[in-house]
Every structure is written in structure tokens, then in C-alpha cells.
Structure 1
């Protein structure tokens, strides 16, 4: 939020100077996940002012020179220290193929003798022939158009990097390892980019992770020095962001603070003066404590300390500002910390005994830590843990996951892990079985399962990497066993069952997910007021539909003869006839064109829809059906919600995206066996209508689109495509090991699908992928971590995301989650802040709930034409 406002301020100042040059921003953070997440948000407020891209596709300095310049008011580069500033403080890497191809190309133009001396195989490294040739063909035109000024800059950067050795590059190649030589070449290319494309603003996010870039020694590095030198003697502005900018304890904690202050001020005397004042302040505090029996003297000391404290604060605020998360005294449950007790059972101890028997004596100390954290550790740890690999080859005793029981959808009366039992009380299987969480601002009262126990998202942090995978798999299986067993006796068959996949044409199903241009345009439940009763909303929708059909040569119910008022055709025929009457035929045909080309059943249903004759008359029962469609048909709700945030959603060019969202996205998502396990088979359509109403689906969707529109790359036009990806997510599986009587691992483990709960980061692990996916099982790869995070930041599945704390600094999980579970205790206060900081953030669910509670009446006051919340 702070960085975004500063970027906007720079743009405003540049416009006041009538400068056409964009503000060049280098946003540097520790990992690409955070860079991808935040780069769009930094310029979100500026997207409405320009049609140009604002975030460069170049993800590292060495690729900037080959990337076309942006023409908007901002040119933002999202970079990481490891890939853009290689050097002594960062591990040497070979770089990407595109980098090495570009290096070869620019050397051939700027330094042909050097290019001839360097073997091509040194630059190719492990790239295959096809990969290398494609990259060469792709980059050759870019190299050919490089201006001479840029080539001159690259020559200078190469001389700075290699010195006089550049004249005898052959000797350098002989005496330098290929990895180190590539690092030097990449440094030269990055240096040239900095000289040719200096920043106006440098943002260092979570800089404590790469502190060398703000130290005196680190700034002596040529690349880092060039970053801060700027152009023509004018250095860029530098903004440092961190929730934990220096250690809270340790011998060097105070020194790191003063080194940081010296960097920010650019003046070592400033930090030395502050250090002296801190020392004096500390001595005053000690003197106050020692003067406890001398009230007057203590008061004098306190007054001096107060004056000195204010002086320190005034000096520090010239370079630092601190924002606090105001949560401790917040009057809402989202900011409370309930403590859960997890009593041990006899089964828990038997699991521990079984693990101890498996481990060698020297690994017995590790067994306790694994048992405390990992559910069913003997079957979940696997080959990535050395203690498990060198275990005793003896039979596993105690409670265990049994393949036969899983196949029959059986579960123990209580899982043999105290934390897992506590988790399932906090996030019950019944609530996790619901397809979305309740909206912040409900347009009407929740009903059904949402009224009984609306689901809440939960972010779980643990210590070991096996823990999230075991938590996610066992929690998802508990949901399956709880919901599916009434209708299925087989786990695999239950997971593969479908209800919403039309093997043959089903026009009621088609109508449900059809984004009707008519109903989405003429109806709006918000016109009845919010919050409001469903009866009042239905009356309002009825009036809107009647008004829209008035003057269209349609015989409406009150004008029909008594004998014809009870005519009752299927609602799909009525709606299709209305759209034919209003000349939406070509629009509907185009909207379903892409799906109809891939799906013969969908094509047949679309053609049947378009073949209906125009509407001439409407009966009262048919009008009632239209009202229900307007209120709770998923396709209509998606179209109406998207249209509020993207008015062109129903245009001929955009309707195919919306149709893909409803038919290929939402329909597939709702065809989850857990969701419909308890529906009556012949009441599928009514059950979907009820689902939409009970959970206030349109309100949820409206809130999601509003939150997402400011952060998604491409803005509102990409909302439909973005959500469709979430609906099509494949979260993967986890396989528990089966240990035979002789202690050996069986070839086939127990594979459990993850859906309501998923492990974050586990599906990126190569070993994990080998465990859970076999070539014969599925061609669909499990979701990557970025995709899982995006899905978790929607109101839809997954509802539980389990992760380790490692690598999550700076990532956002707050959009639809306000709860963090500390499965394993934090080792430091810094890690505690980092964990809870994932959900207590600007615009998060907890914040929105407070605003909704306080401002609902004002936002939807009677004289307001549109909501203002």
C-alpha cells in the first residue's frame, strides 16, 4: 500500500513536469512468487489512466536490454537479487537459456573477437539442440536491432568486469570455471542494463533477506553501486520495506539497526549520533529503575528520558516510518487468538511406539519431533527423510492407514494424532464440504448448511515438509469419508462419480449455466435493497422482467385469458424464446462457439436453444420460473456479477470467456462428488438453485470480482478467465507408504486426493511428484504453488492451506482468510509476525468484515442509487 502510493506520487510529479519519459521503477524482492504477486498491485491505481502495459516482462536485469520499452507512465521491473545481482553474496548460477543466447548475440555484435573465443558449448550448457536453436531464432531479431549506443555501453560494462583480461579472454576461459565465467558475463550484461536504463525509484521489499544490498561492503559491488548511482549524478529514490528490518535479539541486532540508518541517510555521522543518543536513553532508563525510592529524582529522570525519546523519534522519522497492525484491542473475533487443547490418546502413543521401533537408535531423538508434527509419520515421511530411509526393516505396529479401509471409505473413530483431531474440530468436515465461504456483506440471510456452519478458510503453518501433505490428504479424505459414504462404498468410484457432465443433451442443465444476456441485463437483486428478504427480491425481479418485456408484443400473464394463464413450458424454452425475440441469436451462437467446437453435446444443446421460435406469450408459472432463473441460475449470476465490474462482459467478443467460466469452469467445479453427495438424484436442478440461494453465491462472486479486479494482470477483462482457471484447478494427491511385514516399502502406496485441504509447495517438489503421480494415472499435472495461492485467495476450494513457514515471507493469503493455525510453535517472534502477517493485511477478510459491520447501513442507505461500500 505504501509503495503503491509512492509510485503514484512519482508519476504525478513527472506529469507536473510535462515529461513523457516513464517513471522507471525497480521492484526488488527475495523471490519471484512475491514479485509476481505484488508487481501488478504496485501500479493497480494507474491502470485506469492508460491503455499501455506498466509491468515489464523482463524478470531479470540481463533481459532488460532485449525487452521492448513500455510506453505508459510507469515502467516497472520486478527483479530478484539472486537472478539480477549475481556476485559474491549470491550463489553463482548459469542463468536462463534466453540470457545466454542474448549474451552470445550481443557479444558477436559488440565484441566479435571475444564471442569467437568463448566456446558455444560453454554458453549452451545443458540446453538441447531444439531448445537452443529456438531461442537463437527468437532472439536474433532483437539483437539485430540493438542501437550502437547500447553496444558501446555493453563494451564498457565488459571492460569494467574483466579489466585488461578482456584482451586475453582465452586465458580467462582456461583459468576460470564455466559457472564463474557465466556469472561474470551475466554481471556485465546486468551492469550494461543499469547504465542504459537507470531507475528513478528502487523498492527493496523484505530487504532483510538480502541485507548485503544495504550494507557498506555490499554497496562496493559494481552492480549494486550502479543501482544506487542513478544517471547524471542524480541517484534514484530508495524505499525499503520490511516487517522485520533487523533482528530483535543477538549481538549484532543493534549494530544492524545503525548500519541501516546510515544507509538510509547516506551519512555515517547520523547513525553515530543516534547510537550515542540510544546509549544515553538506555542509561536513563536504568537510572529511573534504580531511583525507585526517590520519587522526585525519578520524575526528573523520566522527563529527561521523554525529551530524549522524542528527539530520537524525530531523527529516525526522517528516514523511517512504521505502520502497526491494530489488532490487539479489535472488537471482532477475527483478531482473537483462541488456544486449543489437544489431549493425547492411547492410539497416539501407539503411533509413537511404532515409529520408535522403525527408527535406528541414533535417530530416536528425531522420532519425537516427527511424531509431534506429522500425522501418521511412519507412512508419511518417505524417502526424503534420512531417518526413514535407514530405518529398521521391521513390521509397522500401532494404528496405520489401511488400503482396504480407504477403498471402502472407512475412517477411524478418531485419527491417532491430537493436533489433527483438534484441527477437524476447528474446521469440521461438514463445513469444508461446502463449495464457498460466506460473503462479507450478505444480500440476504444465509440458509441451509451455511446457516448451520458456514465454512472459514484456515492457513496452517508447520515445521516439517511432510506435515502439510499429511494434513491436507487426511483432512480431504475425512471430508470424502464423511460426505460420500452414504451414497458410495468405494473411494475411487465415489471420487470419479459425476452428475453435471451431460453424456447426452440435457437442456435444463444447459439453461442453468447459460449466461443469459436477457436476464443478466434486465434483472438486478440489489435494486430491492440490501439486506433484504428473498420474497421482496423475487417481487422486484418479477417487476424487472415484466417491464423488460412490455412493449415487445408479448402477451404477459395479466393479459392472458384465464384458460391460458396456466400454460407451463420448460423454462429453457421460454428463455430461449425471449432471447430469439430480442434478437440475441447471433450473440448466443458466438458465445457458445468455442465450447460447441469441442463438445458435441454442448453443440446439440446450443442448436436446440437457437431453434426455439420467438416468444409470443408468457404464463404466470413461466414467469415464476424466469424469476427463479434470475435469482439463482449460476450462469445468470456469473454474468450479472461480472458485468458490474466489466460492463463489456456480454459483448460479442467477451461472451465466449464468460461462457467458458460458467460451463467449463463453474459447472465442472460444482460437479464435485462431495458437493452433491446428499442431493436427490432427480432434483439436480432444484438443488443447484437452492445452493446458489443458501450461500448467497452472487454476493460472494461480486465481492471476489471487486477484490481481484485491482490485482489481476490485464484488469477486469481477465476476471472471467482468471476465475475459470481456479475452478479447473487440480490440486494433486499424496501417497502414504505401505510397509509390508518385513518392513520393506510396498510398490503401491495409498493415494489420497487433496481438494478441500491442500499442501502449499508440496506439488512443486520433484520427489513428491514422483510419489503421487504415475504416467498411467493422469496427464494433468498438479497445480503449482502460485496457482494454489491464487485459488486459496478466492472464496472457493481449497478451504485449508497447509504450509511450512519457509519461503512464505511476503506472500498474501489474506483475501478470503482471517485465521492462522500454528500447528508447530514458532521458534522466534519474527517468524510469528511473518506467519500472522500473511492474513492481517490491507483489504483482508478481517478488515472487510469490520467495515461491513460498521458501514453496512450507510453504504446501502435508502436514498443511495448504488452501493458505496
Structure 2
């Protein structure tokens, strides 16, 4: 072995994380019948990204002595470009400094020089971490792509087809697409030409040229350029042909870029968000392109996901979306191991396990059989069930306050669904109050909209008028409205009915300073966040909208009797950042939220509290041992001398102490539902901000 040892990067892992890393590495590189694809499905919060970093470390350790690998390329794929840029940094291991890139697959030619020139000093080979998102690298929905992509295609075609003179100009006109002017697109091309220096990457250029010759796209391009000729603008027919040509060229460019990338490990984070790319049966362009990446050479593929497959599919899920959790599971299993015999064994083992559970017989042996079949391609870690008296306490709330109107609402909802030919199950009613008010995205909502648009029947009119809906008059008058659901009533009783709307944020669990009202009493009661899980998209909107309205209503007190824009505008605002005559005005509230890094570096309230032996209050900051001190002595203010420390008796209030940004409270986010309240800062400004 040469210089790099993964042990240093694995030292900080928990035992279960290290065990997962070792198991994945064993299956990737050591076993006599290894796998090229593996799923880590650890429960949320158990550190899948840490495990992925460990797998990266073990991959580098294994490949550093593999003479068939000249350069190690790690590809990270997730659904969000910003998250991709953040997480690519987390995959960096201590023993190998890697080149980081977050780009499009089609624009990889801009970075091939950097990939080839990556630092070799740590493990003896270049190491590259490259991040992609499916929407920009695999999906071809936006057929014409970016101007820089089309510019690169032009340079490749120019080189392959020998474009000069009017042929070059007609090619530029054809590939201009959405760029505003011909001159602007030519500037993009020349800028990219200068950036690339010696031209596009030779591997990409050769692979691209072979692809367009073999597919006939080169001939199609030549014919289209000839038809465009000296035209300054494209006709509708020429435009459509140009869009199709660009789409095809982008696909060929993406495939050629994979050859240049040479992936050794591909990490798919939260893969269920783009599981369409995993299908070995799909013949879509995006799936074929993704399969080319996953199947490149001896590349390993690591799937990450915390979202478990459900053991069954509800009727309404199948009717609304055509989903089948069972079939989704087996599609993933086929991606992990495309072996019909093994898949048949898994099906039989799951059936045996289901039968054991349903019959009440012991299921331990059946579960062990399933585990042994799946362990070679996947693993999952879950939090242990804690004993009574430990950190987790399970509470079961008795939902005894189901109202008669709630039950009538469900009966009417079912009748309306039957009349419209839709579905409304008991789960809809249990999970979302006033379902008809929050039915966007459901087939029942779509069919109701269509019926209203076409002129509803008398039966539909009667059912809608008697269905459980929010009282529009009460909302307009800012009066209380019933929550319409036993679960939501219980949630409201634990939150807004306890005065949570008065909290600008949750009180810190370890405050720097002594808490005062309204934070102190909630902290003493052990306030904690509420996290709501639901399978239904109507649920978060309904909860947020109705709790927001109630919080807004409670905070307004007597100030608002009408729920309108004009009435809200008349209420004085204290936390707005306003401009008057184009100049900032009333910006003092900004100090409540603006980070103060200089103060944070100069004095740490937590260190002061520790030195004083207790948490500091405003009054105690003037006493010996509780003043703020910088590393170089006492931190003084530029105010008149009434105290020597920033925390002196009269020189500072609580807002002047730097505070670390704590966790925010359960918020009442704005809702798009007309008439529902929003938790605006001007209403929250009535709260008192306690120190700490």
C-alpha cells in the first residue's frame, strides 16, 4: 500500500457507521462475488453523508494501488444544485485533496483540464469530486439547454464538419435558439473558444464525432445548415428542426462527456426523487444516459435514501398516481442486482414473511431469511428503541373530541366523490380538515373544478353546499373558526392554545442568559418542536393555513376586526424594514436579527456564563466575573463611560450581546388560501424579546 490509509477518516465515525462503511467496502472490493451497486437506507439523522464519505475514503484506499486506474473520479448526484455544492465539500477526505466541480454533464469539457491536473501528492493519483443534478444533466426537457452548451456543440461541429464562411454563420444561426441576438451568441462562442484554448477535450470530441456520424446526426446538421443558408431568422419549420437537432446533439455530448469523466464511484443521494433514472427497462433518453454513467467500466454505484418503502399501496394511491410501492421496491432491487433467480427468491421470502405475520406464527426465521437475501446489496440502521425513562417518551392521545359535524362532513365527502366518479377515503378525512378547501392536486379536486366550470348538476350543488368547508364569513371577520378535525384540535391545544404564537423563536435549551417572559414559562414546561408526518399533500397546507390563521387572530387582539389588506395595513408595524423617499427608514429592528461576527469573535457569552458559574442576566453583566472580555483584554464601548464592559449596567441591553442563531420555532407560514391569516412580522412585533 502507498501513502493513503482510510483509518484516519473513519476514526470519527460511530460504531454502526463504521460497520456500514466496512460492509459496503467488503461488498465492493473484497468479496469473491462482489456487487457494483449498493443501497444505504439508514434512518433520517443517522449520518448517511458520513457513511458516504467513509465509502469514498475506502474507495481511494483501494484504487490507489490499482494500476488500471490513472485517475479517481467520484460523481455525486442529488436533486438540488445548491445541496450538491454543499455536500460535495463534505465528501472530501483528509488524506486526499480533491478537485471539486459542480456542473452540467454536457459542460464537462470546460473542466477536463482541471480534472486531469488534479493534485497527485497525497495518494499518487488525481482525485476529482464532481456534482450533477438530474434536471440539468440527464433530463432533456428543456431541449435547447444553455447558450454555453450550444456554443460547445458549435465548436465540436465546427471541428468535425469543417465549418467556415457562410456554413459557419448558418450553423450559428441554427444553434442560437433562445439567445436574444446573433451577435450575442457569437460572443458566447468566442468566449468559450478562448477559455478552452486548444479546443474541446480530445476524448469528448472524438466520442462526439463518432456518435453523430454513426447516428446520422452529422448529415442532418449539414442539411439543416444548408437549408438555413443566409437567413437571419428561422421559419417555424426550420426552428422546429433546429430544436430537435440541438436536443439530439446535447444527448450525444452528454454521452461523450461520460467517456471523459471515467467515473469510479457514483453516489446518488435521496435516489427516490429520480428513481426513473434507475429503470433498466425504460427507453427514455434520460434513463439511457444515466445507465451509461452507472454502467461505465467498473464504476461502483452507492444509493442513499432514508425513505422506506411502504409494505402496501392504498387504493387511492393506485387510483390517483398509479403507484405501487411493492413494484417500486422490486424495480430498485433489479437495479441493484439484475438477477431473475435472486429476485424470485426475494419475492418468495417476502411472501413467507407476510404469511408468518398474518397467521400470528413466529416470524423471526422468515425475517432472517429476507435479511440474508438483501444484505449483500443493502443495509439499514435504525435508532434503537429506548427503554421507559430514557430520552424518548411515547404518548398516545385520546381523540375523543370528534364532532358530529366532522362525521357528517366525511359522509358528504364520500357522497360527493361518488357523484363525481372520484375517490375520498377515510384517510383523507382523518389527515386533512376541510378537505375540499385543500384538494389542489387531487383528482377529486380536479373533477370538482371541471364540474363547476361546465355547470354542476343539482346533486353536486347540494353536496358541495352541505360539505364541511371553512366559514368564509368568519374568516373575513377574523372570528374563530373550528379546526374541523380531531387531530388538528389536539395539535392546536398543544401549541397555539398554550401561547406559542407569542414566541418569536423557541427558547434555547441551553440559554446564555436568564430567560424572561414569554420564554421562561415555556422553557420551564419543556417546550419542544412538533414534527408532523403525513402521506397526504393536503395535510401540511391545511395545518399551516389553519394554525396560521389562529395565531394571527390571537396576536392581533383588538387591533383587527376585519381580515383584509386595508385593515392589516392600518396596524402599526415594528419589525418592517421600510424605505422612505428611497432611503432606509426604521431599520433599528435589523439589529435584532443581524449577525455580529466581530462581537462574536471578541466575546463569547457562553464562556462568560461558565466563568461566572451561572447564566448571566442583564443585571449581572455589570458584576465582577460576568463582564465581556476579548482575547486582548476588556472590550470597551464607544458610548459615554457609564460602565467599562459592553455588558455594563447602562451601556448595553440584551440586543447588544452577540447571540448564536438558535433553532426557530414552529412558524405559521403564509398560505395561498384567500382570506387565511399569515404570521406577519408586524403582528409578531407585539411580543417582547427576552434576552437569551
Normalising by structure 2, we get a TM-score of 0.62
* Aligned equivalent of 1:624, options 649, 652, 656: 649
Q: How far is the alpha carbon of 1:624 from its aligned partner? A: 2.1
Matched, 1:61 2:105: yes
Residue 79 of structure 1 is matched in structure 2 by 132
* Aligned equivalent of 1:452, options 515, 521, 537: 521
- Residue-by-residue CA offset, 1:198-235 (whole Å, 9 max, x unaligned): 223211334456557656667998745652565xxx62
CA distance in 2 between counterparts of 1:208 and 1:244 reads: 8
| SS of equivalent to 2:268 | strand
Residue 439 of structure 1 is matched in structure 2 by 508
Residue 546 of structure 2 is matched in structure 1 by 474
Residue 149 of structure 2 is matched in structure 1 by 99
* Aligned equivalent of 1:28, options 70, 73, 77: 77
- Residue-by-residue CA offset, 1:674-732 (whole Å, 9 max, x unaligned): xxxxxxxxxxxxxxxxxxxxxxxxxxx2x66xxxxxxxxxxxxxxxxxx9xx99x9965
Residue 140 of structure 1 is matched in structure 2 by 190
CA distance in 2 between counterparts of 1:400 and 1:286 reads: 43
CA distance in 2 between counterparts of 1:377 and 1:164 reads: 52
Residue 108 of structure 1 is matched in structure 2 by 158
Note if contact 2:496-2:547 (Cα within 8 Å) is conserved in structure 1.
Answer: no
Q: How far is the alpha carbon of 1:239 from its aligned partner? A: 1.8
CA distance in 2 between counterparts of 1:38 and 1:330 reads: 40
| SS of equivalent to 1:388 | helix
| SS of equivalent to 2:75 | strand
Q: How far is the alpha carbon of 1:734 from its aligned partner? A: 1.6
Note if contact 2:76-2:132 (Cα within 8 Å) is conserved in structure 1.
Answer: yes
Matched, 1:168 2:219: yes
Q: Please, what is the CA RMSD of the aligned residues?
A: 5.9
CA distance in 2 between counterparts of 1:460 and 1:74 reads: 42
CA distance in 2 between counterparts of 1:225 and 1:516 reads: 47
Q: How far is the alpha carbon of 1:3 from its aligned partner? A: 0.8
Residue 579 of structure 1 is matched in structure 2 by 637
Matched, 1:425 2:493: yes
Distance 1:458 1:183, change over 3 A: farther
Aligned length: 568
Note if contact 1:515-1:635 (Cα within 8 Å) is conserved in structure 2.
Answer: no
Distance 1:330 1:531, change over 3 A: farther
Q: How far is the alpha carbon of 1:637 from its aligned partner? A: 1.9
Residue 543 of structure 1 is matched in structure 2 by 624
Distance 1:63 1:330, change over 3 A: farther
Note if contact 1:100-1:124 (Cα within 8 Å) is conserved in structure 2.
Answer: yes
* Aligned equivalent of 2:205, options 154, 165, 168: 154
* Aligned equivalent of 1:37, options 83, 107, 115: 83
Structure ranking higher in helix proportion: 1
CA distance in 2 between counterparts of 1:474 and 1:44 reads: 39
Residue 248 of structure 2 is matched in structure 1 by 184
Distance 1:423 1:163, change over 3 A: same
Q: How far is the alpha carbon of 1:191 from its aligned partner? A: 1.6
CA distance in 2 between counterparts of 1:283 and 1:367 reads: 30
CA distance in 2 between counterparts of 1:155 and 1:214 reads: 28
Distance 1:16 1:469, change over 3 A: same
Normalising by structure 1, we get a TM-score of 0.51
* Aligned equivalent of 1:388, options 441, 449, 460: 449
Note if contact 1:24-1:75 (Cα within 8 Å) is conserved in structure 2.
Answer: yes
CA distance in 1 between counterparts of 2:278 and 2:585 reads: 65
- Residue-by-residue CA offset, 1:41-62 (whole Å, 9 max, x unaligned): 3532649999x9964231x311
CA distance in 2 between counterparts of 1:160 and 1:479 reads: 61
Note if contact 1:26-1:202 (Cα within 8 Å) is conserved in structure 2.
Answer: yes
- Residue-by-residue CA offset, 1:344-378 (whole Å, 9 max, x unaligned): 32444676688799889335755988666554455
CA distance in 1 between counterparts of 2:475 and 2:344 reads: 64
CA distance in 2 between counterparts of 1:734 and 1:97 reads: 35
- Residue-by-residue CA offset, 1:719-767 (whole Å, 9 max, x unaligned): xxxx9xx99x99654233xxxxxxxxxxxxx3643569xxxxxxxxxxx
Matched, 1:636 2:661: no
CA distance in 2 between counterparts of 1:244 and 1:620 reads: 52
Distance 1:350 1:213, change over 3 A: closer
Note if contact 1:14-1:23 (Cα within 8 Å) is conserved in structure 2.
Answer: yes
Q: What is the correspondence of 1:480-559 to structure 2 with a 5 Å cutoff?
A: 480-491=552-563, 492=565, 493-494=567-568, 497-500=572-575, 515=596, 521-522=602-603, 524-529=605-610, 533-534=614-615, 539=620, 542-544=623-625
CA distance in 2 between counterparts of 1:342 and 1:243 reads: 34
Note if contact 1:444-1:534 (Cα within 8 Å) is conserved in structure 2.
Answer: yes
- Residue-by-residue CA offset, 1:280-299 (whole Å, 9 max, x unaligned): 99999999x99x9xxxxx9x
CA distance in 1 between counterparts of 2:646 and 2:307 reads: 63
Distance 1:10 1:120, change over 3 A: same
Note if contact 1:117-1:169 (Cα within 8 Å) is conserved in structure 2.
Answer: no
| SS of equivalent to 2:74 | strand
CA distance in 1 between counterparts of 2:329 and 2:440 reads: 43
Note if contact 1:381-1:388 (Cα within 8 Å) is conserved in structure 2.
Answer: no
Residue 259 of structure 2 is matched in structure 1 by 195
Distance 1:397 1:261, change over 3 A: closer
Q: How far is the alpha carbon of 1:481 from its aligned partner? A: 0.7
Residue 318 of structure 2 is matched in structure 1 by none
Q: How far is the alpha carbon of 1:528 from its aligned partner? A: 3.5
Q: What is the correspondence of 1:307-322 to structure 2 with a 5 Å cutoff?
A: 317=375, 319-322=377-380
Distance 1:164 1:401, change over 3 A: closer
CA distance in 1 between counterparts of 2:434 and 2:507 reads: 33
